[in-house]
Amino acid sequence: DAGVIQSPRHEVTEMGQEVTLRCKPISGHNSLFWYRQTMMRGLELLIYFNNNVPIDDSGMPEDRFSAKMPNASFSTLKIQPSEPRDSAVYFCASSFKGRGTEAFFGQGTRLTVV
């Protein structure tokens, strides 16, 4: 398996623009997580899905952020409109439902909002 695949690897956008980050989890995994990493706040869980259903979105900063998982093999994280403070590395991770299994992370998307 190719692992968790995120696209794009890097994104530079202007303030106010819409940004969409994409994630393909590992086949067979039924849990998917979106994390944001910054120097100031470390790794923050934004939202996670089980069986394509959002379970906990309490980490989503505000209404400008939205996430979807239309099927088991694809998820998106959208920011509209983007702001400079959204600049961070965004990670997607997936996990199998088995007991004690770890989350496997993608390479992350480095987002810069100018």
Partner 1 sequence: AQTVTQSQPEMSVQEAETVTLSCTYDTSESDYYLFWYKQPPSRQMILVIRQEAYKQQNATENRFSVNFQKAAKSFSLKISDSQLGDAAMYFCAYRSAIRWNTGTASKLTFGTGTRLQVTL
The answer to whether 86 and 66 have CB atoms below 8 angstroms apart is no
Among 100, 111, 113, 114, binds partner 1 (CB under 8 A): 100
Give the integer Cα–Cα distance in Å for 19 and 41.
Answer: 21
Q: Which stretch binds partner 1 (CB under 8 A): 18-26, 29-37, 70-78, 79-87?
A: 29-37
Q: Is 102 a residue that touches partner 1 (CB under 8 A)?
A: yes
Give the integer Cα–Cα distance in Å for 26 and 8.
Answer: 17
For partner 1, give the closer residue by CB, 12 or 15.
12
Contacts of 99 (CB under 8 A, 6+ apart): none
What residues numbered 41-60 form the site for partner 1, per CB under 8 A? 42-43, 45, 48, 50-51, 55-56
The answer to whether 48 and 56 have CB atoms below 8 angstroms apart is yes
Q: Which residues bind partner 1 (CB under 8 A)?
A: 30-31, 33, 35, 42-43, 45, 48, 50-51, 55-56, 89, 91, 93, 95-105, 107-108
